[in-house]
Amino acid sequence: MPEDVPPPGLHGDAATVVVLRESPRGPQVLLLERPSHRGSFAGAWVFPGGYVDPEDRDIPPGHDGDARDPLAAAALRAGVRETREETGLEVREAELAAFSVWTPPPTAPKRLRTWFFLAILDTSAQGQITLSPDEHVDHVWLSPAEALERHGEGKISLVPPTWMTLRWLSRQATAAGAVEAARRKPPADFRSLRTLDEDGQPIVAWVGDEAYDLDGLAGPAGARNRIRLGSLPWIRERTAPTT
């Protein structure tokens, strides 16, 4: 698991909550549209989330926290708080399932290690979504497959962590099943590198890809663990060389 203190070159930590709900056709996910003219991920559709603030690291009175992983506990509190501030929705720490941890590329202007959590919305206990006007301009509930289709057609903008999360969710039959599957495994660790492939096309590569030339963690020749970003729809490649 990631360290409590951000590694060199990181500016801090953040938390994101992937809010799910059940529907007759499978799980739906809440996506929020960022303002197109300012801020991080301008114009992109994202999940609720934001910084892990200093107060999130303080264990509240009567709260046991998680002594084994204080950063995970702080990220949980940040995810609950940010979801409430950005959408008006209440999710509970105990119901969040840790899903993944993302470390941005070294070239990113703001490098926040971001913890992704899954949560199921109890629609019977929730009111309307109330967006924070400084953070988002619109929202939509979509199936993961619909969101990916819209992105592939150029109708919405996504960033790689959102795209990869939606891709995984598109293979889940129910929201409850997705959360249970996340609970059965440790959070996936994505340390990203933006670079060019052998044809000069942009990719995002992760540990094990032959192009991941950071920290001695590149894979052997021909190994793939990447997304091709050169054109829409994006293409996920994860293969191993044959011997």
Contact 48, 132 (CB under 8 A): no
Give the start-to-end residue ranges of the domains of the chain. 12-191, 193-243
Helix, strand, coil shares of the chain as percentages rounded to 5?
25, 25, 50
| Helix (H), strand (E) at residue 225 | strand 224-228
Q: What is the pLDDT of residues 76-91, one digit of tens each?
A: 999 999 999 999 999 9
| CATH for 12-191, options being 3.90.79.10, 3.40.50.2300, 3.30.70.270, 3.40.50.620 | 3.90.79.10
- Say if residue 4's pLDDT is above 50: no
What's the predicted TM-score (pTM) here?
0.90
Q: Does position 242 have pLDDT exceeding 70, yes or no?
A: no
Residue matched to tokens 């039959």: 173
Q: What's the mean pLDDT in 117-142?
A: 85
Q: What per-residue confidence (pLDDT) applies to 63?
A: 58
* CA-closest candidate to residue 82, choices 56, 102, 45: 56
